[in-house]
């Protein structure tokens, strides 16, 4: 499992990360109107693969899985607070963390194949 380090002090962040031997570009943007974080994943060629709001406890890109362009694992947001609630701008990277679980790790924990 890989913890993806994000700093909530910036409204927009862009960086590269390798998943399952492929380098992807990750973009995180705070949406003031919706008051949530948006997560976008791009190919090494800068083509958008998937986009979703950061919501805890779900496979963030499940609706894109059938397209075959995502890494094999899953992106999961975990709320570390004792009383989970609405995710505020400053929570990301501190009280709420994003993890990437490789496909074998996810299967072992959840008990289903990707």
Q: pTM for this one? A: 0.85
Looking at the domain assignment, is residue 87 inside a domain?
A: yes
**77 confidence band (pLDDT: 50, 70, 90):** very high
Residue 103 phi, psi dihedral angles, 5° rounding: -55, -45
Distances (CA, A) of 13 to 16, 28, 57, 105: 10, 5, 22, 27
User: Does residue 57 form part of some domain?
Assistant: yes
- How many domains does the structure of the chain reveal? 1
89 phi and psi, to 5 degrees?
A: -55, -45
Q: Give, as one character, the DSSP assignment of residue 37.
A: E
* Among 91, 98, 83, residue whose Cα is nearest residue 40: 98
75: confidence class by pLDDT, cuts 50, 70, 90: very high
Residue 90 maps to a domain: yes
pLDDT band at 20 (very low <50, low <70, confident <90, very high): confident
In a domain, 88, yes or no: yes
Any domain includes 114: no
User: Is residue 14 pLDDT above 60, yes or no?
Assistant: yes
- Supply the range of the domain harboring residue 10: 2-109
Q: How far apart are CA 103 and CA 112, in angstroms?
A: 10
């Amino acid at each position: 499992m890989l913890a993806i380090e994000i700093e909530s002090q910036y409204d927009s962040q862009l960086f590269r990360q390798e998943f399952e031997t492929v380098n992807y570009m990750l973009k995180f943007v705070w949406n003031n109107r919706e008051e949530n974080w948006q997560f976008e994943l791009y190919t090494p060629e800068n083509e958008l693969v998937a986009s979703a709001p950061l919501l805890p406890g779900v496979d963030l890109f499940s609706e894109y899985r059938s397209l075959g362009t995502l890494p094999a694992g899953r992106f999961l947001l975990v709320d570390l607070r004792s009383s989970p609630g609405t995710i505020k701008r400053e929570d990301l990277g501190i009280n709420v963390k994003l993890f990437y679980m490789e496909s074998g790790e996810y299967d072992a924990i959840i008990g289903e194949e990707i």
